[in-house]
């Protein structure tokens, strides 16, 4: 039994059954606080860890948007859940090539990942936050969140009754099964905060995650351990727990004042529209011995059977900022 499972069983014995939302929140807080989960030795690999090309496209999209917004001088580059800091590192390189030099602000709850970010970005001046509300007031935002929203907890309902986790048959179990409907107050609150910030100070946010374009019913809670799916109630705190992002709900919550979301585009289509294939060719030509690696990474990021279709991209922007490229 994992240490967190022991703690959860004690909690359930004293408090009674806990909601799926409370379970997911406790598991992920424990999970991320204690480890760097990325890469082949870890539990899962994210797009920026597959290839620098992913973050370079994000950097290029943000830089182009900033140029078309009239190159405002002061800007905050904000990332939600920056992981190892790899996306920031590769995106900043592109941003700086165009003359943009933003202040860097991270929203990150994990002490271990804050240390990893500090180490990878040692020459950078970074401010860390628990949420967006402590950002310094004023400058517009360039905000990025890759695979952040999927880690925020969801509620599940069966026939209108909230689903809970109980202790039964010697382990943890769900108190009911059936047709499941999910929602997520934490995601809604985070998307509304992004919208509220953009409404006051202007700017643009790029949100990339796996999920669906329209709100729909279904159980999407899933867990991954050592690159394999694992039952969500197994090994609490020792495996990543996620649920698909409902982009319709996210766009609605982010539409604060006159802030609006763009259309949702699949990751594969978006990266191709931004020119990832030309970038792959240039990288492969410059490093012929790495050519196979570059094209494999391109396929992983863009092929419909790999990350290309399941992962999606949406932008949120204030009315005085143009929509980033790739959403037309």
- Taking the complex as a whole, how short is the minimal distance between the CB of residue 196 and ligand SAH, in angstroms? 17
Cα R_g (the chain), whole angstroms: 20
Nearer to ligand SAH, 81 or 202 (CB): 81
What would the two tokens of residue 328 be?
């037309």
Closer residue to ligand SAH in complex, CB, 18/107: 107
**What is the Cα 327 distance to its own chain's centre?**
19
46: contact with ligand SAH by CB under 6 A = yes
- Tell the smallest beta-carbon distance from residue 285 to ligand SAH (Å): 27
- Residue 109 interacts with ligand SAH (CB under 6 A): yes or no: yes
- For residue 49, state whether it binds ligand SAH (rule: CB under 6 A): yes
**Measured from the CB atom, is 32 or 210 closer to ligand SAH?**
32
- Report the Cα–Cα distance between both ends of the chain, in Å, rounded: 50
Question: Is residue 211 a contact point for ligand SAH (CB under 6 A)?
Answer: no
The four Cα atoms 173, 232, 190, 60 give a dihedral, to 10 degrees, of -170
Instruction: Tell me the residue nearest to ligand SAH as measured from the CB.
Output: 81
Beta-carbon count within 10 A of 234 CB: 14
How many residues would you count in the chain?
Answer: 328
- Binding piece for ligand SAH, criterion CB under 6 A, among 59-67, 108-116, 281-289, 303-311: 108-116
Q: Is 151 in the site for ligand SAH (CB under 6 A)?
A: yes
Q: CB–CB of 313/252 below 8 Å?
A: no
55 touches ligand SAH (CB under 6 A): no
If binding is defined by CB under 6 A, does position 92 make contact with ligand SAH? Answer: no
User: In whole angstroms, what is the distance from residue 249 CA to residue 255 CA?
Assistant: 10
* Contact stretch for ligand SAH (CB under 6 A) within 8-16, 62-70, 107-115, 272-280: 107-115
**Binds ligand SAH (CB under 6 A): choice among 21, 43, 90, 108:** 108
Residue 48 sits in the site that holds ligand SAH (CB under 6 A) = yes
**Among residues 111 and 178, whose Cβ is nearest to ligand SAH?**
111
166-181 burial: b if 16+ Cβ within 10 Å, else e: bbeeeebebbeeeebb
Tokens for 96, please give them.
């700086």
- Tell whether residue 87 is a contact of ligand SAH (CB under 6 A): yes
Q: Can you tell me which of 28, 223, 253, 267 binds ligand SAH, judged by CB under 6 A?
A: 28
Q: Judged by CB under 6 A, which stretch of 64-72, 109-117, 261-269, 308-316 contacts ligand SAH? A: 109-117
2 binds ligand SAH (CB under 6 A): no
For β-strands 203-212 and 245-246, DSSP reports them as parallel
Told to check if 107 binds ligand SAH by CB under 6 A, we report yes
Of 102-110, 157-165, 169-177, 285-293: span binding ligand SAH (CB under 6 A): 102-110
Q: Which spans of this chain sit near ligand SAH (rule: CB under 6 A)? A: 28, 32, 46, 48-49, 81-83, 87, 107-110, 113, 146-148, 151-152
């Amino acid at each position: 039994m994992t240490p967190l499972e022991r703690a959860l069983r004690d909690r359930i014995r004293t408090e009674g059954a806990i909601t799926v939302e409370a379970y997911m929140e406790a598991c992920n807080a424990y999970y991320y606080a204690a480890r760097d989960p990325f890469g082949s030795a870890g539990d899962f690999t994210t797009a920026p860890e597959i290839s620098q090309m992913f973050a370079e496209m994000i950097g290029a999209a943000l830089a182009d948007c900033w140029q078309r917004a009239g190159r405002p001088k002061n800007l905050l580059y904000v990332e939600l859940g920056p992981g190892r800091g790899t996306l920031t590192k590769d995106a900043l390189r592109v941003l700086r090539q165009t003359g943009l030099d933003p202040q860097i602000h991270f929203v990150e709850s994990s002490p271990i990942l804050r240390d990893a970010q500090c180490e990878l970005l040692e020459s950078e001046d970074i401010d860390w936050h628990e949420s967006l509300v402590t950002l310094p007031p004023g400058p517009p935002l360039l905000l990025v969140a890759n695979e952040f929203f999927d880690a925020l907890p969801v509620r599940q309902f069966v026939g209108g009754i909230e689903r809970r986790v109980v202790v039964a048959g010697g382990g943890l179990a769900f108190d009911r099964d059936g047709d499941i409907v999910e929602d997520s107050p934490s995601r809604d609150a985070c998307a509304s905060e992004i919208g509220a910030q953009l409404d006051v100070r202007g700017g643009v946010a790029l949100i990339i995650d796996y999920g669906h374009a329209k709100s729909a019913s279904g159980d999407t809670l899933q867990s991954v351990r050592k690159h394999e799916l694992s039952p969500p109630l197994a090994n609490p705190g020792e495996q990543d727990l996620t649920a698909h992002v409902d982009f319709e709900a996210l766009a609605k919550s982010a539409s604060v004042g006159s802030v609006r979301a763009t259309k949702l585009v699949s990751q594969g289509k978006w990266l191709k529209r931004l020119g990832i294939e030309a970038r792959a060719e240039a990288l492969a030509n410059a490093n012929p011995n790495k050519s196979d690696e570059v094209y494999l990474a391109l396929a992983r990021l863009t092929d419909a059977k790999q990350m290309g279709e399941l992962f999606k991209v949406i932008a949120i922007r204030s009315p005085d900022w143009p929509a980033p490229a790739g959403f037309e």
